[in-house]
Amino acid sequence: MVSSLIGKEEYVVKIQDVNKDMVGLVGGKAANLGELIAMGARVPPGFVVTSKAFNYFLRSNGIFEKVNEILSSKDDRQASADIKALIMNSSIPRDLEQAIASAYEELTSKVSREVLVAVRSSATAEDLTGASFAGQQDTYLNVRREELMMRVKMVWASLFNERAISYRRSKGIGSSSVSMGVVVQMMVNARSAGVMFTLNPANGDRNHIVIESNWGLGESVAAGKVTPDEVVIDKDTLTVIEARTSHKALKIVYDGKENKEVQLSPEEADSMSVKEEEAIELAKMAKEVEKHYGRPMDLEWAIDADLPFPENIFIVQARPETFWSKRTQETDVPQKEATARILTKGLPASPGIGAGRARVILDVSEAKDFQKGDVLVTRMTDPDWVPVMRLASALVTDEGGMTSHAAIVSRELGVPAVVGVKNGTKVIKDGQLVTVDGFSGVVYEGDTNLVPRVLSSEVPASMGVSKEALTNLYPITATKIYMNLGQPDMISRYVDLPFDGIGLMRIEFIVSEWIKYHPLYLIKTGQQSLFVDKLSQGIAMVASAIRPRPVVVRFSDFKTNEYRRLRGGEEFEVEERNPMLGWRGVSRYISAQYEEAFRLELRAVLKVRDEMGLQNVWVMYPFVRTRWELQKAMEIMEEEGLRRTPDFKVWIMAEVPSVVMLAEEFAQIVDGFSIGSNDLAQLTLGVDRDSELLANMGYYDERDEALKRAIKRLIRAAHKHGKTVSICGQAPSVYPELTEFLVREGIDSVSVNPDTVIQTRRLVASVEQKIVLDKLRSR
Ligand code: PEP
Ligand code: MG
């Protein structure tokens, strides 16, 4: 290693000569770049001005002593100003300046253009990780030769920012012991750039590498400013499976002063921005990086306009893929490889990876000794299982599809889940260690450390980045992005996500977990206030956390078999042959047997709105079949004192085809519709939504043309009468292409699972922009 050092005494080291054991000399950022090169990835060439060089600079100017003196006599602000001035006014020793200059010359010798560089801090010590994470050290982009020495000094000086000094004082870290490397790296003159995933972000398929690309700098792709070109590559054979050219409205370029958005010419807009050989070269590197880290990766890449292939292909950033939470988190990475044996496969119902001791439990009454972190393996879950699911690190079920209880609840709880595996309770042994991959629907033997156990939904809270900074990351959309949430306490985890309201609050969770008793049993025993109090508390917990954003509370939609399981429920519930098509939704509210219980739900809503003053609570009727039943239920609602007003909206679910057929008529008596694609798909296609058999055969698919037509028709009819349409079924959380369809059809809002809020917002923004641009062009 030493032989390839440039300059004296390891003052300057080429990035390609750096490895992970050199963190003390070059800093963490530089060490990571060196590691990427060692894996076979090409990163933009550069060098590091080492911590030794920094110390040499300080020593030769006598700065060390002065720093200590200043720190002991001045407050943080003054100390920072004085030390920074000291550094900026001192000169870099001649031999060091010479070493930096010749490294720069070598870097630029291959390129005929003027080479601009990025100058970045690379912290050397653990204690600095926190500081640099908070953005306390500087990075300068597009630095010219003549500014180079000054920028290096500025990065050094940033080690003495006021916040950095305060941080070290608060942690008891002596300022004289800190040091840093400075990375000087060629700026790629990007002809094309974008992002790349070593799994398919649309469906979690780990056999694919997906490249998203646009002309110019990668920022247009990363920030969701365009619908990028997409190339899907088979990871095994490194061949292109699919290449989709999109109409890209703009690119971002550096114009000598700043990054600028530039409109693309019609030819450029519609031509593929990455060549096949380039895509394969990128995929090759991505595969190596993934292999090295042993987990799916999210990479940023760029292709230089002036260098020959393949020297022009660069990876500029690599981080573990955290599913739909692109560009948000860097975590340490385990080095283990995925060689684990597959136990079983099913539907990837809830994203994430969970590992732990498998507990094969067939009846919830036997789950008493279930421990936090165990993996729950069972036939199918129902509301009784939710307390156990909350403890689980992952879930595997034999039965069920993507809209089953197990799928919906685990997703909301952020518990990775694979459903419909058929034989899980047979092939998985009680007590065995297993890893559940909820991205791809695979259950492995042992704890395989496959990918980070992080869910996108956890990111905002754990990043330590300010809310304002986060908000800026998310585009504003004309279509509202709502979130589905039924577990009131989960709001604290998701509250910082960029959603415009709760588009579906299923109250079944509050009933089965907080209230536990059948409402009619409570009425019979004179305890109805317990129902009203608990239900109103649960709703208020969410409504107060997110106001003024609205919460659409959906009245109960248990089926008879589920109601039976509530305490005291057997007495009040018949045994139906087909509960899915039975006494559910509005048919209960207007029946003589249940009406009193429905009134308790209404009183809870009234209490939240009137007594607690949370006027952001709206309501929604589930499983509406006919107008007459709805009208009856709405009369009961009025009797309880809940009247439609501009700030008390009444929606109905559009999930029985009759609502779509008579959409115009329904539109005249409600404020809005929300498409329940789970039930609407079931009833339009005649496919049991919980049948893993039919799901595996491809029958249960919300993208079916029949469904799309129904949706289109509903939106037209609703808009004709000035009413809104939303969607709260699972479909847009699973199929981005369906979301695109919905936005194009003019849907007013889309309500998705917490883990897809960010991704959906980005997608919707890019589709909306595309629609606007297409319209402008066709004028
Ligand atoms: C639906 O049917 O799409 C829906 C959101 O309701 P649920 O899944 O609760 O039936
Ligand atoms: Mg439904």
- How far apart are the C-alpha atoms of 644 and 467, rounded to whole Å? 35
pLDDT above 80 for 150: yes
Whether residues 253 and 154 share a domain: the answer is: no
User: Are the CB atoms for 43 and 314 separated by under 8 Å?
Assistant: yes
Inside any domain, residue 108: yes
For residue 423, give the nearest of 394, 398, 395 by alpha carbon: 398
For residues 229 and 88, state if they share a domain.
no
For the segment 298-339, what is each residue's pLDDT rounded down to a tens digit?
888 999 998 899 999 999 887 766 543 332 233 333 333 335
Gap from CA of 622 to ligand 2 centroid (Å): 7
> Which helix H or strand E contains 717, and what residues bound it?
helix 705-720
In this predicted structure, the answer to whether residue 490 has a pLDDT above a threshold of 70 is yes
> Residue 267's domain is classified under what CATH number?
3.30.470.20
**Is the distance from CB of 34 to CB of 127 less than 8 angstroms?**
no
Query: Which ligand is closest in space to the CA of residue 678?
Result: 1
Q: Which atom of ligand 1 is nearest to the CA of 729?
A: 3
Strand-pair category, 250-254 with 259-263 = antiparallel
Q: How confident is the model at residue 102 (pLDDT cuts 50, 70, 90)?
A: very high
**β-pair partners for 653:** 674
Mean of the pLDDT values across residues 173-179? 72
CA of 676 from ligand 1 middle (Å) equals: 5
Same domain flag for 418 and 498? no
**pLDDT for the residue 465:** 41
- Of 426, 453, 480, the last residue of a domain is 453
pLDDT at residue 676, as a whole number: 98
Rg for the chain, CA atoms, rounded? 29
The pLDDT value given to residue 64 = 84
Chain segment 367-395, per-residue pLDDT in tens: 989 999 999 999 999 888 998 999 999 99
Q: Is 594 left (phi over 0), alpha (psi -120 to 50) or beta?
A: alpha
pLDDT in tens, 566-578: 999 999 999 999 9
Q: What is the pLDDT of residue 637?
A: 98
pLDDT of 531 higher than 90: yes
Q: Which ligand is nearest the CA of 503, by number?
A: 1
In the block, residue with structure tokens 């693309």: 264
Q: Which pLDDT tens digit goes with each residue over 33-71?
A: 898 898 889 999 999 999 999 999 999 999 988 888 898
C-beta of residue 209 within 8 angstroms of C-beta of residue 283: yes
Pair (28, 108) in one structural domain? yes
For residue 336, being part of any structural domain is answered with no
Instruction: Tell me which residue has its CA closest to atom 4 in ligand 1.
Output: 676
Please report which confidence band the pLDDT of residue 24 belongs to, taking 50, 70 and 90 as the band edges. Answer: confident
Quick one: pLDDT at residue 141? Answer: 85
Say how many domains are in the chain: 4
Q: Which atom of ligand 1 is nearest to the CA of 728?
A: 5
Residue 715 and residue 599 share a domain: yes
Q: Within this chain, do residues 377 and 253 fall inside the same structural domain, yes or no?
A: no
For residues 540 and 480, state if they share a domain.
yes
Q: Which residues contact 677 (CB under 8 A, 6 or more apart)?
A: 655, 702, 707, 727, 729, 730, 731, 732
Confirm whether 4 is domain-assigned.
no
Residue 641 domain-assigned (yes or no) = yes
Mean pLDDT of 406-414: 91
CA angle 481, 484, 487 (to 5 degrees): 145
Q: Establish whether the linkage from the previous residue to 488 is cis, with ω within 30° of 0.
A: no
d(CA 133, CA 122) in angstroms, rounded, equals 11
pLDDT of residue 338: 39
Q: How far is the CA of 678 from the centre of ligand 1 (A)?
A: 5
CA–CA distance, 352 with 415 (Å, rounded to integer):
7
Ligand 1 atom with least separation from CA of 622: 6
255-264, 462-471, 760-769: range with lowest mean pLDDT: 462-471
Burial class (CB in 10 A: 0-12, 13-18, 19+), 85: exposed
Ligand 1, atom 5: nearest CA belongs to which residue?
A: 729
Q: Are residues 426 and 470 both part of a single domain?
A: no
pLDDT above 70 as % of the chain? 90
Distance 249 CA to ligand 1 centre (A): 37
Task: Answer yes or no: is pLDDT of 154 > 80.
Answer: yes
| Per-residue model confidence (pLDDT) at position 458 | 34
Number of residues that this document lists for the chain: 779
Ligand 2 midpoint to CA 679 (Å): 5
pLDDT band at 31 (very low <50, low <70, confident <90, very high): confident
- Sign of the Cα torsion 184, 190, 193, 198 reads negative
| Nearest-CA residue for atom 3 of ligand 1 | 676
| Ligand 1 cavity residues, CB under 6 Å | 403, 504, 506, 557, 655, 676-679, 728-729
Is 6 part of any domain?
Answer: no
413 and 266 share one domain: no
Report the alpha-carbon distance of residue 546 to residue 492 in Å, rounded. 10
590-599 pLDDT per residue, tens:
999 999 999 9
Distance in angstroms (rounded) separating the CA atoms of residues 725 and 710 = 13
Do the domain assignments include residue 337? no
Set 208, 292, 405, 518: catalytic member: 405
- 114-128, 161-175, 225-239 — most confident range: 225-239
Of 715, 708, 648, 667, the closest CA to residue 684 belongs to 708
Mean of all residue pLDDT scores within the chain: 87
**Where does the pLDDT of residue 245 fall: very low under 50, low under 70, confident under 90, or very high at 90 and above?**
confident
Structural domain includes residue 5: no
Please check whether residue 138 lies inside any domain of the structure: yes
What per-residue confidence (pLDDT) applies to 403?
Answer: 87
Is the confidence at residue 203, as pLDDT, over 60? yes
Within the chain, what is the greatest distance between any pair of CA atoms? 94
In the predicted structure, residue 280 carries a pLDDT above the cut 50: yes
362-369, long-range: CB < 8 A, 24+ apart: 362/425, 364/388
The confidence band for 163, taking pLDDT boundaries of 50, 70 and 90, is confident
pLDDT level of residue 725 (50, 70, 90 thresholds):
very high
CB 50 within 8 A of CB 26: yes
DSSP code of 676?
A: -
- 728 CA distance to ligand 2 middle (Å): 9
Q: Which of the following is catalytic: 208, 292, 518, 728?
A: 728
The pLDDT of residue 629 is 98
Domain limits at 383? 342-453
* Higher pLDDT, residue 13 or 29: 13
pLDDT category of residue 343 using cuts at 50, 70 and 90: very high
Q: What is the pLDDT of residue 541?
A: 95
Task: State how far the Cα of 407 lies from the Cα of 476, in Å rounded to an integer.
Answer: 29
Q: How far away, in angstroms, is 50 Cα from ligand 1 center?
A: 58
Q: What is the pTM of this model?
A: 0.58
If you measure from the C-alpha of residue 687 to the centroid of ligand 1, how many angstroms do you get, rounded to a whole number? 14
Residue 136, pLDDT above cutoff 60: no
- Residue 472 pLDDT: 57
Instruction: Tell me which of 678, 690, 728 to substitute to probe ligand 1's pocket, judged by most ligand atoms within 8 Å of the beta carbon.
Output: 678
**Ligand 1 atom with least separation from CA of 678:** 3
Which of 330, 361, 380 is the C-terminal boundary of a domain? 330
Is the separation of the CB atoms in 348 and 419 below 8 Å? no
Beta bridge partners of 751: 482
pLDDT, one tens digit per residue, over 424-455 is 999 999 999 999 998 888 999 887 665 443 33
Domain end residue (candidates: 281, 307, 330): 330
Say which CATH number the domain at 762 has.
Answer: 3.20.20.60
Give the containing element (helix H, strand E) for 595.
helix 595-606
Q: Which residues are paired to 342 by β-bridges?
A: 444
CB count, 10 Å around CB of 516?
15
Same domain (yes/no): 475, 422? no
Q: What is the pLDDT of residue 256?
A: 84
Bigger pLDDT: 328 vs 158: 158
Q: Which ligand is nearest to the CA of 507?
A: 1
Mutate to test the pocket of ligand 1, among 557, 625, 714, 752 (most ligand atoms within 8 A of CB): 557
Could you tell me which of 56, 152, 46, 151 has the C-alpha nearest to residue 104?
Answer: 46
Percent over 90 (pLDDT), the chain: 63
**Ligand 1 atom, smallest distance to 408 CA:** 8
Whether residue 496 is found in the same domain as residue 639: yes
The CA-based angle 642-645-649, given to 5 degrees, is: 80
| pLDDT in the model for residue 19 | 87
Active site (annotated) includes residue 405: yes
Helices marked H in 144-190: 148-157, 162-171
Confidence of residue 117 (pLDDT cuts 50, 70, 90): very high
Q: Cα(249) to centroid of ligand 2, in Å?
A: 38
CATH code: domain of residue 23: 3.30.1490.20
Confidence (pLDDT) at 12: 95
The best mutation among 381, 382, 402, 403 to test binding of ligand 1, ranked by most ligand atoms within 8 Å of the C-beta, falls on 403
712 shares a domain with 682:
yes
pLDDT digit string, tens, across residues 634-652: 999 999 999 999 999 999 9
Ligand 1: which of 584, 653, 733 to mutate, most ligand atoms within 8 Å of CB? 653
Neighbours of ion ligand 2 (CB under 5 A): 655, 676, 679
Ligand whose nearest atom lies closest to the CA of 558? 1
Nearest ligand, CA 753: 1
Q: What is the pLDDT of residue 451?
A: 43
Nearest CA to ligand 1 atom 6: 676
